[in-house]
Structure 1
């Protein structure tokens, strides 16, 4: 999902798939601990601004956060069914 979102816009030029690996572990840890959309938005905003040096709108970040939290919750419900 991070590669698809490609918020830094390297997908067209970059053949690797590790550009966003630094976000995977922290995101999964947050999901596993029950993070909600606001938690994920806050984390992503800090990382995108601090680590990547970019500024995205809250709407751009929130759209991605809603999608990923819903994905996690869906995966969780499947694993407990």
Structure 2
């Protein structure tokens, strides 16, 4: 997997808001990680949004959780260091 971010034609990073998530265990061997997101203002307005369903192993879930916690820590540290007005 590449770490290169997807960009739009104007050069800005393509972002989609995360609207929700759920996990489901299938057969005791794999988890389904379901991520809900929107790709347009119209989808947000109508509530008809796509979901991405990923099959993930226990090891992948653990690694993802650790990565998310590291990102949370970095964000919290940045907000603490931000100048106060």
Classify the TM-score, shorter chain: 0.3 to 0.5
Greater RCO (CA < 8 Å, at least 6 residues apart) = 1
TM-score in terms of structure 1 length: 0.40
- Which of the pair is proportionally richer in helix? 1
TM-score in terms of structure 2 length: 0.39
